[in-house]
Amino acid sequence: MKKITVKTSKPYNVLIEQGILSNCGKYISEVVNTKYVALITDDIVDGLYSEKVIKSLSEYGFTVKKYVFENGEKSKCSQNLNNIYDFLAKNNITRTDCIIALGGGVTGDISGFAAATFLRGIPYIQIPTTLLAQIDSSVGGKTAINLPCGKNLVGAFKQPELVLCDPLTLKTLPDKIVSDGMAEAIKYGMIRSRELFDIIASHDLSNYFEQADDIIYRCISIKSNIVENDEFDKGERMLLNFGHTLGHAVESYYNYSGYTHGSAVAIGMNLITQQAVKKGLCNELTSDILVKVLKAYDLPLTADAKTEELTALCSNDKKCESQSINIIICSDIGISYINKISFEEFLAFMNA
């Protein structure tokens, strides 16, 4: 088993082990003070893993109340959130009980936000079952729902009590969903670790699983380190947004149905790096290697949308403070920095 302790205001462990789902009750019983838990999951994951998880929880004496919602980004909304609140209230979940989020990013984000706000905060545990959720959304305490006018516009910082990652769950994912997560893994390599980048680059979508445990471990270690330094997203944490400002614009342009989050981030990473090369902030070789790796994981490099249309959408990004914008530049693989520029400078940069 691999273990990472995330030393935020409230420290917690991330445990990574193939098959840990079947033994989750043991680890959960070590961190909570209740025998009463609310399991939140979507209909796809429910069919795959709920039985296994509930069996282990029952073995360790837990009473489990289960809430299942329809899979997909459209469920990360206030209506589903209100249904979760009603479910928690009707099952008399109290402040000392616990929510368990079993699933991908949508499940983790909305369950985490429910945990952050129901009764002004109750404990929660993340059991992420997609690569994206395992290496990104389940760690760091960012929880959220979408508004009709934008993604993740409502949320809270709320650290979980525990994160359990079972790499075996990746085996049931469609390739497209693995690619989606791999874009974020490539991002971690680009911003902070050539070693991780090289492991990813020496594999592709067909054989990455050989290194899945190590990739997950390295990604979470990087995220954990960055989040520890900047839990509330005031500085260094912005590095995690490499490719994301343009990525969000791509997602928004296609109404969140044209590209997955990871695909959009892949496009964002490629576009910003191409411009960085033009401006002499990054060498061409780095850009070429990035392109090669994105292709190896079946990730897109560009979208049909014009650059001007995408940059215009960036002003709505919640990371965009009033008149300025923080862009993340990788000067080399593993080396990144935050560049705070005016919105006009950003437009000029993108149209170089």
What residues line the site for its own copies (CB under 8 A)? 34, 36, 78, 82, 85-86, 89-90, 92, 94-97, 113, 116-121, 142, 144, 147-150, 153-157, 232-233, 316, 318, 320-322
Cβ proximity to its own copies, 129 vs 143, nearer residue = 143
Q: How many CB atoms lie within 10 A of CB 106?
A: 24
Q: Using an 8 Å Cβ cutoff, are 91 and 65 in contact? A: yes
The CB-of-27 to its own copies minimum distance in angstroms stands at: 22
- Give CA–CA dist 333/285, Å, rounded: 10
Cβ proximity to its own copies, 96 vs 229, nearer residue = 96
The CB-of-52 to its own copies minimum distance in angstroms stands at: 27
Query: How far apart, in Å, are the Cα atoms of 182 and each of 108, 261, 301?
Result: 18, 11, 14
The CB-of-155 to its own copies minimum distance in angstroms stands at: 4
The CB-of-157 to its own copies minimum distance in angstroms stands at: 6
Q: What are phi and psi of 119, to 5 degrees?
A: 55, 30
H or E stretch covering 125: strand 124-128
The CB-of-14 to its own copies minimum distance in angstroms stands at: 21
Give all strands (DSSP E) within 17-107, no chain letters: 36-42, 63-69, 98-103
Cβ proximity to its own copies, 118 vs 217, nearer residue = 118
- Any residues with CB less than 8 A from the CB of 348 and at least 6 apart, and which? none
Cβ proximity to its own copies, 203 vs 237, nearer residue = 237
Q: What are phi and psi of 342, to 5 degrees?
A: -70, 160
- Give CA–CA dist 22/34, Å, rounded: 20
Cβ proximity to its own copies, 4 vs 328, nearer residue = 328
- Give CA–CA dist 128/27, Å, rounded: 15
Cβ proximity to its own copies, 82 vs 202, nearer residue = 82
The CB-of-168 to its own copies minimum distance in angstroms stands at: 32
- Give CA–CA dist 256/250, Å, rounded: 8
